[in-house]
Amino acid sequence: MPETATISTIPAEALEALRRIVGESSVLSAHEQVLVYECDGFVIEKNTPDCVVFPETTEHVVAIVKLCNEYKIPFVPRGAGTSLAGGCLPVGGGVMIALTRMRGIHDVNLRDHYAVVGPGTVNVHLTQHLKGTGFHYAPDPSSQGACTIGGNVATNSGGPHTLKYGVTVNHVLGAEVVLPDGEVVQFGGYTEDNPGFDLTGLFVGSEGTFGVCTKVIVRLTRDPVAYRTMLGVFETVEDATQAISGIIGAGIVPAALELMDQGIIEAVEPAFHFGFPLDAGAVLLIEVDGLEVAVDGEAEQIVALCEQNNAREVRKADSPQQRDLLWKCRKKAFGAIGRLSPSYCTQDGVVPRTKLPEILKFITEASARHDIRIVNVFHAGDGNIHPILLFDERDAEQIKRVLLASDEILNRCIELGGSVTGEHGIGVEKINFMNKLFTEADLETMESVRLAFNPTGLCSPQKMLPTAGACGMEHIEKSHPARRAAL
Amino acid sequence: MTTTESSDEFTPATTDEARDFLAENAAGAGRAIFPVGGRTALHYGYASTQPGIAFSTLRLNRTIDYPARDMTITVEAGIRMDELTEILKAEGQRLPIDVPQSSRATLGGVLATNTSGPRRFGFGTLRDYLIGISSIDATGKTFSAGGRVVKNVAGYDLCKLMIGSLGTLAVITQATLKVIPQPEASRILWCAAADWQAVETALENLLTSATRPVALEVLNANAAHEIAAEARLDLPADGPVLCIGFEGATRETEWETETMTAELQTAGIRDVAVVADAEPLWFALTDFATSSDEPLTFQANLRPSRLVEFAELATSAGVSLAAHAGNGIVIGHLPDTVTTLDAAVKILSPLQTLAHEADGNLVIFDCDETWKQTIPVFGQSRQDRALMQRIKQQLDPRDILNPGRVFTKNAVSAAQ
Ligand SMILES: Cc1cc2nc3c(=O)[nH]c(=O)nc-3n(C[C@H](O)[C@H](O)[C@H](O)COP(=O)(O)OP(=O)(O)OC[C@H]3O[C@@H](n4cnc5c(N)ncnc54)[C@H](O)[C@@H]3O)c2cc1C
Ligand SMILES: Cc1cc2nc3c(=O)[nH]c(=O)nc-3n(C[C@H](O)[C@H](O)[C@H](O)COP(=O)(O)OP(=O)(O)OC[C@H]3O[C@@H](n4cnc5c(N)ncnc54)[C@H](O)[C@@H]3O)c2cc1C
């Protein structure tokens, strides 16, 4: 993989100063140490940071950010590094601020239904911490066992339960943020409707370009009283997607509505032995939750709608163990893909729900056209698709075809009235789709908002906006070394 | 000079016309622009510091696209809320945002003021429903953000920025909303509490209720009287009142009202009544914010756990008060007897202090213009105010849109 030319190398005295701030052992700068941080879950592009620092307090972050400003060194926040869009790729090198040690659950207040957590808190740890209280933290990305809440805030993560409960932004009351100039501000707070602009809402999803989040106040949600979890088995993907339209069209909003196609079943079944029929075209994992008196009625309606759409059968999870196993299959589906292929690229696109059959047909055609195997597991209820393109990383020719097929699929999403990302973000991966989704004026406005936060462009340079930073358009090429190598 | 006194007014019929007008204004005279919709909330904020032109969105009221099966709708911002409700109702859908004076209020105004009501407890606020927006900035530049799909994280979420921006950043011309199905049934339980301690106990118990209310309103006796009268219902109201709303399948809401009635059999709660026709009561609860001629109306936001303490203090000062108790939002009207600034300040000061202690704030909706020289309309200044001003500066460098309305240069805010 070719290296990007680094814009900055850190002066020795700055490195010394960083060591004084966080302590000797909390700064990594040797090449073999920083190599681990050359990419995140998006492995197609790589660049090493000059150093990685591990702050433990907000004061540490402030001091690091001020130092970077003093020496004009770019810096990038990083959580668990599970981003699938290259969000924490250190374009231009510089200082990587790794927040994994700021993982305290500082406060849980059930009466006012919030919790205050450090940005490095692993998503699932909060849920585990809340077990037995009758409350939970609703956003549950499939990566929740690893990803951090700070990273979720930065990317506005979703998950299988988004359909009913919403994405991260719907559950964030406030955030403490170290702005790119080192000033600490509090957006939102412990209460709702604070006067002024909704900077919390604006910050969520800003992908690390508006500053470093050092504390998050999240909203807690009551646990549902009852669930009914079902598995609809369909001969074809087409039938499954028609059933989805039928369910949503009937005014039912399930807690989750996830599709797995035959390719994914082939990977998941040998891994977890749920008993998925290997010859089915697709299965739908459907969960309704709510009051005990309501869930059976909804479940019956769903079964009927699946049957109307040619379901071969609809199974109900008849024990908590079966439900857990079903969810495990869904959430660990990505992990199981290793059985199918040495490397894979998870795409993330969105279409209006009613356009699902069309986009899935297109994916099948693209797969054939480019001779790249594509399997599907996705948040069908939201129209959020995740085609997974299987390839061998050592074969440059295959990578080229993977990129072409991805581009075609995403372009088709735009044509169908959708977007090129439902939850993974733009990062560096999708930066050149931005001017297909938005006009120049749209991007200028976004840029001007970014300038209010990040006037020097030192914080997460060259991410998200094609006009980003002070560098103009030329960086698109610069930040796509792999793409250039492949094409 | 206030916006409503402005003699000059422009009402574009198309967004192109709107854009050209703003671009020409920016290039030439650079007069102040006051975006207006239904004009139901123009008194909110400080009076404009400059004369200018009212920019009415009332003719920008078309439905652009309504793919009902995708449960999204794209409409122009000048559409009246009642009309939007009717369009959605025809497809069995709704936007679950309670808007006072919905026959006059426009979607643009509702977005610009971040309007909400009782049902926000169950359904959230506009930021949970707005998925795409188009606006024209002070220089005449049209920009959009978001899109038409329910899940999308491409680019900065300028939808969130525009909600509650009070027309100071851009004129909203179009919005795409996520909508939800109409519920089969809608019910409200009304009950009287012996005292405020009983209210607090009931609210704490509600945290573990087997039911899932969509609204949790606390009214003091004054407000309860007004609301019951407005809804033409004969309901008990000689002390604090709890008003609990349920929506969903008929079977579900029946079970919930029964269960809640049983759960409410705690000390100090009595006269639990299921309101036969909930609709007029929903309206009265929603309109409470705007339904009075009282000298001053405020909204406080607090930690929900501090609400009863606040309500007790406000009640003892004669304030008529209704609260979205689950969200810690309190709306209060000062009594008629308050005719002077001094009298108003005397009541408000301790309430402001308590709101700040409860990590919130107290904002003035409406009062005599001259009082705003003394009472800070937007409450205690927040730490992120400088950043907000930088954003305003970026989007409206010449301060053309609603100048002084939020970022006023007068004595009060300078002191903030
Ligand atoms: C197997 C797998 C499944 C996944 N499933 C989902 C899913 O269901 N839904 C979903 O939305 N995503 C999913 N993702 C993507 C990813 O997990 C999310 O984007 C997640 O939110 C990233 O969190 P992180 O802590 O790993 O952040 P990182 O990858 O470390 O960083 C992501 C971005 O956030 C910024 N950032 C991180 N921390 C901070 C901070 N404290 N302050 C400011 N900026 C910060 C970084 O600069 C970067 O731009 C999945 C990824 C994998 C590998
Ligand atoms: C804090 C608050 C106070 C309220 N106080 C009252 C009250 O005292 N009396 C009452 O009747 N109702 C009040 N309401 C409720 C009122 O019904 C709603 O705010 C309503 O949504 C306003 O809609 P409108 O079309 O009448 O807006 P208008 O009153 O015309 O405008 C309200 C604000 O929104 C801006 N605006 C309007 N349209 C646009 C647009 N398209 N783009 C950008 N900015 C726009 C205006 O510049 C102005 O700042 C209040 C609401 C809130 C949130």
Q: Which atom of ligand 1 is nearest to A463's Cα?
A: 49
**Phi and psi at residue B362, in whole multiples of 5°?**
-130, 120
| Contact present, A352 and B148 (Cβ < 8 Å) | yes
The domain containing residue B62 runs over which residues? 1-182+381-416
Distance from Cα B383 to the centre of ligand 2, integer Å? 25
State the amino acid at position A314 in one-letter form. V
Q: Is A5's pLDDT higher than 50?
A: no
What DSSP element (H or E) covers A301? helix A292-308
Regarding whether B65 and B120 lie in a shared domain, the answer is: yes
Regarding whether B241 and B137 lie in a shared domain, the answer is: no
Question: Could you tell me if residue B152 is inside a domain?
Answer: yes
Residue carrying structure tokens 């009075």: B292
- B2 ligand 2 Cβ < 6 A: no
Residue A300: how many other CB atoms lie within 10 Å: 11
Pick the CATH number of A226-332 from 3.30.465.10, 3.30.70.2190, 1.10.260.40, 3.50.50.60: 3.30.70.2190
Distance from Cα A98 to the centre of ligand 1, integer Å? 13
| Contact present, A179 and A185 (Cβ < 8 Å) | yes
Q: How many CA atoms lie within 13 A of A207 on its CB side?
A: 31
Q: Which of A52, A54, A143 to mutate to test the pocket of ligand 1 (most atoms within 8 A of CB)?
A: A143
pLDDT of residue A14: 96
**Final residue of a structural domain among B260, B286, B312:** B286
pLDDT of residue B294: 85
Please give the residue of chain A at the shortest CA–CA distance from B115.
Answer: A193
Question: Could you tell me if residue B281 is inside a domain?
Answer: yes
Residue carrying structure tokens 């035959």: A262
**Final residue of a structural domain among B240, B263, B286:** B286
User: Mind listing the pLDDT tens digit for each residue in A123-171?
Assistant: 999 999 999 999 999 999 999 999 999 999 999 999 888 889 999 999 9
Pick the CATH number of A338-486 from 3.40.50.720, 1.20.120.140, 3.30.70.2740, 3.40.190.10: 3.30.70.2740
Helix-strand-coil percent breakdown of chain B, rounded to 5? 35, 25, 40
What is the value of pTM for the model shown? 0.94
**C-alpha dihedral (A63, A64, A65, A70), degrees to nearest 10:** 90
Regarding whether B316 and B268 lie in a shared domain, the answer is: no
Distance from Cα B43 to the centre of ligand 2, integer Å? 9
- B42 ligand 2 Cβ < 6 A: yes
Q: Is A480's pLDDT higher than 90?
A: no
pLDDT of residue B407: 81
Distance from Cα B334 to the centre of ligand 2, integer Å? 21
CATH classification of the domain holding B357: 3.30.70
Distance from Cα A155 to the centre of ligand 1, integer Å? 6
Q: Which of A155, A165, A199, A377 to mutate to test the pocket of ligand 1 (most atoms within 8 A of CB)?
A: A155
Regarding whether B393 and B367 lie in a shared domain, the answer is: no
Question: Could you tell me if residue B308 is inside a domain?
Answer: yes
Low-confidence ranges of chain B (pLDDT < 70): 1-7, 409-416
| Contact present, A421 and A85 (Cβ < 8 Å) | yes
Per DSSP, the residues of B203-267 read HHHHTT-SS--SEEEEE-HHHHHHHHHHTT-----SS-EEEEEEEE-HHHHHHHHHHHHHHT-ST
Judged by CB atoms closer than 8 Å, whether chains meet at B301 and A169 is answered as no
User: Mind listing the pLDDT tens digit for each residue in A73-104?
Assistant: 999 999 999 999 999 999 989 999 999 999 99
B416 contact A CB<8A: no
Regarding whether B271 and B223 lie in a shared domain, the answer is: yes
- B115 ligand 2 Cβ < 6 A: yes
Judged by CB atoms closer than 8 Å, whether chains meet at A294 and B249 is answered as yes
pLDDT of residue B241: 98
Distance from Cα A141 to the centre of ligand 2, integer Å? 37
Of A279, A274, A242, A288, nearest to A261 by C-alpha is A279
Preferred mutation among B384, B395, B398 to probe A, highest tally of A CBs within 10 A? B384
Q: Is A416's pLDDT higher than 80?
A: yes
Regarding whether B108 and B6 lie in a shared domain, the answer is: yes
Preferred mutation among A197, A221, A348 to probe B, highest tally of B CBs within 10 A? A197
User: Mind listing the pLDDT tens digit for each residue in A339-385?
Assistant: 889 888 899 999 999 899 999 999 999 999 999 999 999 999 999 99
Judged by CB atoms closer than 8 Å, whether chains meet at B145 and A446 is answered as yes
What DSSP element (H or E) covers A358? helix A356-370
Question: Could you tell me if residue B62 is inside a domain?
Answer: yes
Regarding whether B21 and B5 lie in a shared domain, the answer is: yes
Of B78, B177, B180, nearest to B132 by C-alpha is B177
pLDDT of residue A159: 87
Q: Is A1's pLDDT higher than 60?
A: no
Total CB pairs under 8 A between chain A and B = 247
Provide the chain B residues 131-160 that lie in CB contact (below 8 A) with chain A: 137, 141-145, 147-160
pLDDT of residue B414: 33
- B38 ligand 2 Cβ < 6 A: yes
Instruction: Measure A357 CA to nearest chain B CA, in Å.
Output: 13
Regarding whether B392 and B359 lie in a shared domain, the answer is: no
Contacts of B305 in chain A (CB under 8 A): 109, 111-112
Q: Is A477's pLDDT higher than 70?
A: no
Question: Could you tell me if residue B344 is inside a domain?
Answer: yes
Question: Could you tell me if residue B366 is inside a domain?
Answer: yes
Contacts of B69 in chain A (CB under 8 A): 245, 248-249, 353-354
- Give yes or no on whether A226-332 and A338-486 have one common fold: yes
Cα–Cα distance for residue pair A219/A223, rounded to 1 Å: 13
Judged by CB atoms closer than 8 Å, whether chains meet at B329 and A166 is answered as no
Per DSSP, the residues of A224-274 read PSEEEEEEEEESSHHHHHHHHHHHHHTT---SEEEEEEHHHHHHHHHHH--
Regarding whether B239 and B135 lie in a shared domain, the answer is: no
Instruction: Measure A326 CA to nearest chain B CA, in Å.
Output: 24
**Range name among A185-194, A323-332, B1-10 with the lowest pLDDT average:** B1-10
Q: Is A21's pLDDT higher than 70?
A: yes
Mean pLDDT of chain A, nearest integer: 91
Contacts of A134 in chain B (CB under 8 A): 207-208
Q: Report which bound ligand comes closest to the CA of A65.
A: 1
pLDDT of residue A8: 60
Residue A407: how many other CB atoms lie within 10 Å: 16
Per DSSP, the residues of B276-303 read S-HHHHHHHHHHGGGS---SEEEEEE--
Regarding whether B250 and B132 lie in a shared domain, the answer is: no
Regarding whether B54 and B144 lie in a shared domain, the answer is: yes
Look at strands A374-378 and B185-193 and give their pairing: unpaired
Distance from Cα A83 to the centre of ligand 1, integer Å? 4
CATH 3.30.43.10 fits A12-98, yes or no: yes
Question: Could you tell me if residue B291 is inside a domain?
Answer: no
Cα–Cα distance for residue pair A115/A221, rounded to 1 Å: 11
Instruction: Measure B265 CA to nearest chain A CA, in Å.
Output: 21
Residue carrying structure tokens 């921006």: B165
Give chain B's domain count: 3
Pick the CATH number of A105-222 from 3.30.465.10, 1.10.1200.10, 3.30.413.10, 3.20.20.120: 3.30.465.10
User: Structural domain boundaries of chain A?
Assistant: 12-98, 105-222, 226-332, 338-486
CA dihedral for A206, A210, A211, A213, sign (positive or negative): negative
Regarding whether B333 and B349 lie in a shared domain, the answer is: yes
pLDDT of residue A240: 95
| Contact present, A271 and A328 (Cβ < 8 Å) | no
In sequence order, which residues have a C-beta less than 8 Å from that of residue B51 and are 6 or more positions away? B1, B6, B31, B32
Preferred mutation among B128, B149, B207, B329 to probe A, highest tally of A CBs within 10 A? B149
